[in-house]
């Protein structure tokens, strides 16, 4: 499995796409973490990832996660609200896979890519990555969370 963890990377250059906020998803910045699935041709891996994620809706909600699926240039919100998004713009901004290939990305609340995987990731792995982020640690200290 190919997994690229970008969490903790120092913001070196705003023009470097790995460290700059994703413009096509700017509406989520500072409000939500965004998990984006790019569906594969037969949709098997994307469906497996989708089913796994949606089995723990309370955990997604607790971590302010919006889950989006990009397929055939269209974007569908699987968890959370999202309107008017352009799948091809998202694919371009994230340097996502070719149409018909699976990939998943996690964007932090700062709008930068924190994780990129080419195979489905378990909820345990995903939540551990999120829970290790400084912003998430600060959120868990708040009495209203």
How many Cβ atoms from other residues are within 10 Å of residue 116's Cβ? 20
Given a cut of 90, whether residue 73 has pLDDT beyond it is no
Given a cut of 90, whether residue 14 has pLDDT beyond it is no
Does the domain at 3-7+16-141 match CATH 3.30.300.30? Answer given as no
Given a cut of 60, whether residue 95 has pLDDT beyond it is yes
Report d(CA 97, CA 104) in Å as an integer: 9
Q: What is the dihedral of CA 50, 78, 62, 21, to 10 degrees?
A: 100
Determine the pLDDT at residue 8. Answer: 40
Given a cut of 50, whether residue 13 has pLDDT beyond it is no
pLDDT digits (tens, 9 = 90+) for 29-70: 999 999 999 998 888 999 999 999 999 999 999 999 999 999
Q: Quick one: pLDDT band at residue 144, thresholds 50, 70, 90? A: low
What is the average per-residue pLDDT within 124-145? 86
Which of the 8 DSSP states describes residue 143? T
Determine the pLDDT at residue 42. Answer: 87
What is the average per-residue pLDDT within 96-111? 95
What is the average per-residue pLDDT within 80-102? 93
Report d(CA 60, CA 41) in Å as an integer: 26
- Minimal CA–CA distance to 96: which of 132, 133, 68? 68
């Amino acid at each position: 499995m190919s997994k690229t963890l970008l969490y903790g990377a120092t913001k070196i250059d705003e023009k470097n796409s790995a460290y700059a906020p994703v413009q096509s998803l700017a509406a989520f910045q500072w409000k939500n973490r965004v998990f984006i699935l790019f569906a594969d041709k037969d949709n098997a891996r994307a469906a497996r990832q989708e089913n796994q994620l949606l089995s723990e809706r309370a955990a997604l909600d607790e971590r302010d996660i919006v889950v989006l699926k990009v397929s055939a240039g269209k974007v569908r919100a699987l968890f959370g609200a999202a309107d008017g998004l352009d799948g091809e713009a998202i694919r371009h901004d994230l340097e996502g896979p070719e149409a018909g290939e699976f990939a998943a990305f996690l964007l932090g609340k700062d709008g930068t890519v924190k994780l990129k995987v080419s195979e489905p990731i378990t909820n345990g792995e995903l939540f551990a990555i999120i829970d290790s982020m400084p912003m998430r640690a600060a959120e868990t200290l708040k009495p209203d969370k």
